[in-house]
Each structure stands twice: as C-alpha cells, then as structure tokens.
Amino acid sequence: MSMIVSAIGQGLLWAILGVALFLTFRILNFADMTVEGTFPLGAAVAVTSITNQLAPTAALGLAFLAGAAAGLITGLLYTKGKVPILLAGILVMTACLSINLRIMGTSNISLLGQATIFSNHFLKSLPRYFDSVLVGLIAVILITGLLIYFLQTDLGQAFIVTGDNPIMAQSIGINTDGMTILGLMVSNGLIALSGALIAQSNGYADVNMGIGIIVIALASIIIGEVVFGNLTLNQRLVAVTLGSIIYRFVILIVLQLGFSTNDLNLISAIILAICLMLPQFSHKLKLDQLFRKGVSRS
C-alpha cells in the first residue's frame, strides 16, 4: 500500500514538469531542450536558498523566477538572435550546468536538518508518503487551474493561435515573438518550480538531476494522450497529470520485476518509444481489419 501511495505522490509532484512542457511542446509546437537545464536550476536555487535560511515557500518563488529567466534567454536567442529552436535550448541548457555549480558551490547539497515545505507539522502527522500526495495535489490543481483560466483569456487564445498557425497569427496582429517568449518563460518557470519541489521532497539537489528529464516529461504527455484518446485542450492538461501517475506505476512495476534503478533512463526511453508507436500500430491494425472485412465480403 505504501508503494502505491508513494507512486501517486511522485506522479503528482512530477506532473508539474509534464504540464509545463505541454505548453511549449504541444501548444507552441516548440521542442524546448532548456528543460534539462532549468529543472536542476530550480532545485539548485531552492536548496541553496533554504540552506541560507530562506523560507521554503520563498525558495519556490525564487526557483520559478530563475527558470523564467532561463526561458527568457532561450526565447530571445530564438526570436531575436534567429538561433534554431533546438540549438537555442541546448545553449541555455549547457550554460545552466555551470550556473548551477556556481549557485551551489558544489555538485550536490543536502537538506538534512533543514526545514522544507514537507516539514510542516500537519504534513508530518500524515501517514507515510501522504505528504507528497497532498502537496502534489494542491500544486497540480492550482497550476492546472491557472493555466486553464489563462488559456480562456484573449492573451491565452493568442498564445494558442501562435502555436497553431504563426503566419495567420501575425496577419491578425498577434506579436508571435512575444507569445513565444511568454510561453518559454512560463514553461521554464514551472519546470524550475517542479525541480524545487522534487529537491525538497528528495532532500537534496544535484547538478545531474536534469539528465533524462525531458523523456520523463514527454512520457507523461504521451501516455496521457494515448490512454485517454481525443480530448479537449483543457482535458489534455488534466490527462498529463494522470499520465504522470500511470508512468510512475509502470516504473514501480518494472522495479518490482527486478530491474536496477540505474536502468531508469533506459526504461523511460523504451516506455516513451512504445507509447509513441502505439497509435501507429493501432492505425495499422484497424486498416488490416478493414482489409480483411473487405476480402471476406468479396
């Protein structure tokens, strides 16, 4: 039972990462590699702030701002510097590795003996792992709710149109460069916030926390889409969270089968590859069934 609760809690905490990447990957149609730099950046900022006696909630705010700043740089490189999408993200991601080391002063920092948001008296009174479930649930509801509200506004609609058809968006007077920069700032701010939450949950920050993170985020998005099928935009945001929880259960099952934690990145990549291929297999299967029906009738 405790492992199930732990998987749900981790799924909820990591869902913020998936929801954040959804903004750029699905809505803006922007393959943003900055994520592998901003995730550990958020963790580094939050943990360093806490060890310097800053309140854990304030540390989360600083992490968001740091991630938004990284997203701003990626956006400026792409829109103003005309650097290709992937290269702009890789440049900022690479720069973040050195910045994270500068912030922490070492490759990793522990939060042992430090207060975190999980040190709250009420959360500590809950059964084991229920604290991460509650914190994750509150964070996901707030962030998803705010994003759903934002996407219903005129600015949000302009943001969606920019991703759907930038040429048409420009023709009706939308500042597509501004929308792209805004999306990257919000997305990377939330990614850094996710890194800060995970760091407080795990009790440490490490410069290598970002390796393979984009695969985990994409797995949450793709699993949610594959499992729940055709959905509205708002429903897809919710499906990302459910996809994150499902992904955690798949990882739990795989580990229970005897695989090593060292294989997690490999397993994540395989799971994502399978989910990406499922719609293609399903389409071919339907075509084969239709063909067989046609042959039988003739």
pLDDT recorded at residue 287: 47
Residue 73, classed as helix, strand or coil, is: helix
Q: What is the pLDDT along the chain (298 residues), one digit of tens a residue?
A: 678 888 888 899 999 999 999 998 888 888 888 999 999 999 999 999 999 989 999 999 999 999 999 999 999 999 999 999 889 999 999 999 899 999 998 888 998 888 889 888 888 888 888 888 899 999 999 999 999 999 999 998 998 998 888 888 888 888 999 999 999 999 999 999 999 999 999 889 988 888 888 888 888 888 888 888 788 888 888 999 999 999 888 888 887 877 776 777 787 788 778 877 776 665 565 545 544 555 455 5
pLDDT recorded at residue 43: 93
| DSSP one-letter code for 119 | G
pLDDT recorded at residue 296: 52
Residue given tokens 């889409």 in the structure block? 225
Using left for φ > 0, alpha for ψ between -120 and 50, and beta otherwise, residue 59 falls in alpha
**DSSP-assigned states of every residue in 15-31:** HHHHHHHHIIIIIS---
To 5 degrees, how large is the angle CA 170–CA 172–CA 174? 55
Sign of CA dihedral 262, 246, 42, 199: negative
pLDDT recorded at residue 289: 53
281 Cβ contact list (under 8 Å, min separation 6): none
**Which of these, 206, 210, 211, lies nearest to 108 by C-alpha position?**
206
